Structure 1
């Protein structure tokens, strides 16, 4: 079935594609506005409903396009089984929209990997966990100071010290505490600091920790020499 080059269908799909692209960039932004995200989501749903009503019975690859977004398969492309110039144009626009969504995700993933590498290589121990106790990040320094290789939940660290876990859970933003951990014959003096954050409407606690045993020993040595 043929469509006019400047038909309402072409205009409606163009607006929908633009809205989806804007939605993707707003979601990926650091200073995202949740009110704007909600408004764009409502606009997309409304446009999709109107568009589906309009293209019912026409050979346009919209179902494939929406399935790609719904099932998070934006790496694929699709082709319409129609030689209509207008349909082919719509196909190019939809593939271009998927390409922009893919690029936005790629940039977001690159930024995430960049900051993840920074966190993993800093000298101070860092650990983040959600309200339910599930650990999101535990960098290499934290694993070294706690003598663990893996922990999925804060409770898993009870094998190191129950008082350590209690401290992690009770500390509030700005809270600081000194802990003494025993690893065989070795004693570790641990300085723990906490910050509570909200990330995407979810409460997260950031714990920083450092072994100050060597600093204490140096001060004791200086005091003894004086």
Structure 2
């Protein structure tokens, strides 16, 4: 019999007690053997006491084992497992569990060290803090960007930038902010991105920081170059004919001024030519004035007046305003809003202006289509971002035009001003949102407004 087994030990001990009690029961029917009865009874009591001590000893071993695991004190367990004199089977099982726990702890520590090394040497700044602002992670890149060493609470960074700390607190999951920060006389443009986490029942926030000053400067230079090309094209298209016509009129007038007698040699045909030239100059000048006016409107958009707006009510107003155009152009207009009570903080007049511009563009894109459809889909994602998607089944936009579509004054339409989409992007930026476009030739175009 394997007495190292806890189960076998208990069976043998309980069996011995049962046998002793059976003998005691048999002897109790006899008046003789009084001393034997007492001896057997004492033996039964001793067996019960030894069984209780044995079970208590095992309970103590198990209790110590779990307490050591709770405190990660595996060495104390190993010291006790060296003693094989009492319960080798139990100790053997303990050792097996200890080996697995040590292996798991080693793997956990290695993984933790691996992730910590990655976080510390990541190319972007990473900061995590809890609801009280206490910082858990503050990597090397973050320290370099903010010019600090060790920080325990985000409030300690307020001396660097009040705006930065307020953005840390205000941003929700998926939220972004662009913060200007001066460091050693150089201006930094910090792109701030936030993710909210729940670990162990406690709320945490992960902030990523990246200096995008050089990227912004490159984009700004590229945008200026594109804008200058467009402006040059528009202005030269008007100024060149004006200059040419003005030169023609001037030559005609100078010729007649050089005539010696008082009778000018101007025929009716010459007067008509001069009149036509002056009319052309006037039209081109008015075109330049409109161009400058459009440019001024683009650079002087009003500040949004935010209020909570029901998306369903906004869709009702848009549909009412464009209902006649939809009917005249035989367009099937559909909309969907999920959930029905979806509301967004916005300036309703400015967003209405954006949507009307997108819908009128869609109407023009459907001119060559037999079946004409426009769909507006409004929904909210898990992060709380709201999307308004305007989709048509028109002819689509080619890739070259798509890359320039938000450049001011760029247009593919004969009578277009080229400021509608640029103005729409500016309005969405004022709402801390964005506008994007996807298009495929022959299949249609999709504009997405993200709040």
TM-score of the superposed pair, with normalisation by structure 1 = 0.69
Kindly tell me the number of residue pairs found equivalent between the two proteins. 182
Separation in structure 1 between the aligned mates of residue 187 and residue 57 of structure 2, nearest angstrom:
75
Q: CA deviation at 1:60?
A: 6.5
Q: Which runs of 5+ in 2 are unaligned?
A: 11-51, 229-451
By relative contact order (CA 8 Å, sep 6+), the higher-ranking structure is 1
2:206 is matched with 206
Q: CA deviation at 1:58?
A: 5.9
**CA distance 1:54–1:195, change in 2 (3 Å):** farther
Separation in structure 2 between the aligned mates of residue 60 and residue 3 of structure 1, nearest angstrom:
19
Separation in structure 2 between the aligned mates of residue 9 and residue 204 of structure 1, nearest angstrom:
52
Is the 1:182–1:188 Cα contact (8 Å) retained in structure 2? yes
2:195 is matched with 195
3-state secondary structure, aligned to 1:105:
helix
Is the 1:126–1:137 Cα contact (8 Å) retained in structure 2? yes
Higher alpha-carbon Rg: 2
2:80 is matched with 79
2:68 is matched with 68
TM-score of the superposed pair, with normalisation by structure 2 = 0.37
3-state secondary structure, aligned to 1:61:
helix
Instruction: Compute the RMSD of aligned alpha carbons.
Output: 2.9
**CA distance 1:223–1:109, change in 2 (3 Å):** same
Q: CA deviation at 1:158?
A: 1.3
Q: Which runs of 5+ in 1 are unaligned?
A: 11-51
1:1-226 → structure 2 map (5 Å cutoff): 5=5, 7=7, 55-57=55-57, 61-76=61-76, 77-79=78-80, 81=83, 83-84=85-86, 87-223=87-223
3-state secondary structure, aligned to 2:80:
coil
2:373 is matched with none
1:42 is matched with none
3-state secondary structure, aligned to 1:79:
helix
**CA distance 1:82–1:210, change in 2 (3 Å):** closer
Q: CA deviation at 1:151?
A: 0.9
Is the 2:6–2:90 Cα contact (8 Å) retained in structure 1? no
**CA distance 1:89–1:165, change in 2 (3 Å):** same
Separation in structure 2 between the aligned mates of residue 94 and residue 113 of structure 1, nearest angstrom:
28
